[in-house]
A and B are shown apart, each in its own frame.
Chain A
């Protein structure tokens, strides 16, 4: 098998197919054949010297060594020759000896030298050589040649901040040598010497201080300007020229490292896990979990088990990350309950016992259900964590609402003595009091209590002597008595034809504190109020002084339109992340912040130079309301888009069917671009088809086009 290259109907070359081993080889070989005149292939040092001599005073030379024909480096050189072949003489060798004889070390890699022959007027004089230090890629060669084309030294009399040259656009720094009229000649010589040393690494300019309009620091003799936008220029006092060089080189170095890091950060691999749950579960996969603390149920044992004893069942799937993460919390619950609970903790792996899960109506993972004798199974709807599930299980030990049979028992219930061991799970006990005839109201309350089972303790009292209670707590029946155990307070809320749903609402609202410590777990509860949050960030426990200030304002009803709360950075360390998003730099704690989450996303900060007193705070809030305070941040309103593209198999398949060479690089898919991609594909195909007949024209078109593309992709790279 052979491949043939035609120009029009003239056979240019034939290739054995084994030389066209990949895309690089094909491109390199074809260009090598087409650019026969532009690229001279040499095998000895003599050849090189002959070419050098012939071009002295006429043109510069790009001389490349590649290890073999058809490699990606060879392709890069040929592509550069395709663009620059008419401007520079390209010389290519695969002989190590040639390279050795011009004194190169480390010949393992491909090399490219730029030979400055054009300025050489004296025949015996050697052409200066500049070695390209980056790896041979099309883009690097392009960048390198561009810097070779740029003037070696430029004189400027402008503010360095305003100066821009090709170097900056190519991502290279600028070095200004500050010159005075008196020392101009010496300065210029120094600058030229520096310029040669930094050729290809930085742009060098001579800054004429005397004709400068702006002031620069008096002793500064070197100005350094980085390529990154927005970086301030640096004014330096350097005594040694080598310091300038090393500064640039170390800068290039660090810049490269940074770029690498940036790449990792901003353009992570599509094949790298960026789902924190999946990643952490995967990292933890080798740890042995104490699965034996829970009973694994199967198709055979499921029904008999949940019928025989009160059971909690976790439905999970081995390959589903969230359920595997939650399984660990579930096992923690099992550890905590070990030997103390008669609730059986069991689990069903839906990957094994699919039918069991389907029969229990489980289509989502993870899923927790509680099965109690003689009752319908209850689905757990709380946080997927140890604490909340434990609370759910513990509170479900008693029926909900619990039936209270005497006034004395009711008092014990309200004082917290009746269910002392449950108080840590429910800081509020609710008692519904009714006369025995209020069947409807009792039903509604029972329904509400049932709904809240596992989240709050409820009880019901409906004996004849109920008036003793209603009188004591000065209310009329039917009513709710709310015992807040922490504060030792009991309040009453009268009910009048209140539906179950509304009772649930009343109770859940009653659970909210007036000035809570906000945590990861309870934030959503407070967000439901749909009010702006007034958060006091505190490093550790809240200062009583501040607490009192805010509690006073709450009492005076100044904070009714807000949700006042505080955040303990010791308990909720992620709060630091929030502060970093709000402040830069971070002022000392405590910080008082108002976040308008539900409309607009503005963040206002209470001035940190003022002390938190009732007066100051009130004044600040009034100014806020009047629109006189300006926000410090607006929270970004970005949508959550796909973090990375996907493989675009559709266009890979298209490529394969349209006889494109199969591309090694994976294609990426972005939904919105699919159609545009389609179009581009078609254009692609048509140009490919035309190529054999219109090689020349294509070549011209491509030259300029390639150039633009290279520029564009280069710029793109920089933006990243």
Chain B
């Protein structure tokens, strides 16, 4: 999607947050979850609730899902890319380049089966959303316009109150949780002398002939403005485009809301446009009211993709997981793994995870260390600004330190007016990784869960409070972070130093040697070899090992008396490493 031009979908402006106090109507069916709007965000939430077996209903004003796309964009071409082939098979990775699909377990419900166009037609989106709702059997009440929403205080209710929704026929619905997924419904009216001649985007003609031989002034230089201009370019005398700020191209800002090759946008007074919500997408005013989809973009406005399908499909999932814990005692999904899998777990996620990539710096993975750091728990795509409340929000414990895995652009990288192709913009060496400019993985280590205070008063331009230690994986143009020396090795060293242990892998033969010559074993031998799951290796590998000098080849060494030198020396734990003396390099 990505088109967030103002369009009155839900009747009078400001309705949703103005809770009128009407007398209770006779029959009010109860639903645990009520979703307003069967657009992409509403359908996405409905899908998760359905899979979890929850009591929910979607209330939709029109007669089919995705009515926004039946009308917008006016010139029918979507600006969200539909890259059908990425050269990779990994379905999770491919979602990084699929900006239109909703998340589901059914691979047939991927948008690439609905359109071949790189910038697809809006009609295909309508068809796709219709199929999504129908094939998954989502519970949607069509032709239901909610005219009033009010709060009904009740100590029994999950959130201390019920949401009473009344539709155009006077039918009321009582909901424990209200999920608003209506998009943005208020057009941004401009008031200036002559504004009476303004034709809004929502009603402007899409027929170029209507503009023949005219001088046209377009207010705004966003995606809608350019879309309109492109359409009438051939027939007009002059087109003037006017706006408060310069043109921002999305490849310069890495923000989809900016023009993607001279198309699309949302200008407008931000504060009026988006409702006030917290980082968990809950309304600041009413507990139990969540804002999903385009309207939730305030959380990451101008930073990440939360205002677009390819962003909010993940934030909706995060909201669902929070709700599962809050109301059903289902802890945030996680897997517990041995510490020997730590490096590879992180490498796997940064290479394939689409939620981390699309909602960079908004959703982040969390690794919770368990006692004695022999195992860890992996939680995916947690709203990182809620970090301080992690324990209460997820039902998981963070008592022994934690890692946060986030994707970030360089601090100096993008922004309007910056030349993103500046000289020396890419960082090649891993020791300069912290200066990486392109989107790259950043890992924060905290010995203790940060407090709310620490999150709130974090240093300027930090996403999170100052960590105990931080690691950047050096940027890679193909977002392929699997190089053994450039990516994996520095990550392992970082993790080792945070955990104060040795995370190397060893062959069974080395573990055998350590077992009989030392009292303690490295984690890999403890968790593998000692449990009779050692890595044996083949003859080829054994030869390479002897050549590398990492373990002496004892088959070759004949018995030489007085042949000293510590056994398997390079592998053995050495003396504690001193940090480089800071002053040594200075006077």
Contact = CB atoms under 8 A, between A and B. Distances in A.
- A and B physically associate: yes
Interface of A: 23, 27, 31, 79, 82, 265-266, 268, 270-271, 273-284, 287, 298-299, 317-322, 325-326, 328-329, 332, 350-355, 363-365, 381-388, 520-521, 523-525, 527, 533, 539, 572-578, 580-582, 584-586, 589, 595, 597, 601, 635-650, 652-653, 663, 665-674, 677, 680-681, 684, 702, 705-706, 709, 712-713, 716
16 contacts: A31-B587, A270-B490, A351-B352, A384-B533, A524-B534, A577-B513, A577-B517, A586-B559, A597-B515, A601-B519, A636-B518, A640-B521, A648-B579, A671-B500, A674-B469, A713-B584
Interface in B274-303: none
Interface stretch (B18-26, B205-213, B336-344): B336-344
The residue among B90, B337, B501 with the most chain A CB atoms within 10 A of its own CB is: B90
A593 B528 CA distance: 26
A520 B544 contact: no
Interface in B495-524: 496-502, 504-510, 512-513, 515-523
Given A277-B506, A574-B513, A647-B433, A669 B535 contact: no
A208 B517 CA distance: 49
B574 A318 contact: no
Closest 10 CB pairs of A and B: A385-B536, A319-B482, A642-B496, A640-B502, A573-B554, A646-B493, A277-B505, A280-B544, A649-B434, A666-B431
A441 to B, nearest CB: 28
B567 interface: yes
A587 to B, nearest CB: 9
B371 interface: no
B299 to A, nearest CB: 26
A326 B347 CA distance: 19
B194 interface: no
A706 B586 CA distance: 9
Contacts of A580: 563-564, 567
B545 interface: yes
Nearest to B468: A674
Contact of A271 (B430, B482, B519): B430
B570 A274 contact: yes
A294 to B, nearest CB: 15
Contacts of B52: none
B548 interface: yes
A646 B471 contact: yes
B573 interface: yes
B195 interface: no
Given A363-B337, A524-B530, A674-B468, A581 B576 contact: no
B517 A382 contact: no
B512 A520 contact: yes
Interface in B531-587: 531-538, 540-542, 544-545, 547-548, 550-555, 557, 559, 561-564, 566-571, 573-585, 587
B482 to A, nearest CB: 4
Interface residues of B, number: 113
Contacts of B522: 640
A673 B469 CA distance: 11
Given A384-B533, A671-B500, 4 more contacts: A270-B490, A577-B513, A635-B517, A674-B468
Contacts of A284: 540-541, 544
Nearest to B568: A577
Interface string B449-467: 0000000000000000011
Contacts of B201: none
B470 interface: yes
A169 to B, nearest CB: 19
B504 to A, nearest CB: 4
A644 B493 contact: yes
A674 B163 CA distance: 51
Given A277-B506, A653-B434, A669 B469 contact: yes
B275 to A, nearest CB: 35
Contacts of B489: 271, 273, 275, 278
A647 B472 CA distance: 9
The residue among B501, B510, B515, B519 with the most chain A CB atoms within 10 A of its own CB is: B519
Contacts of A329: 536-538
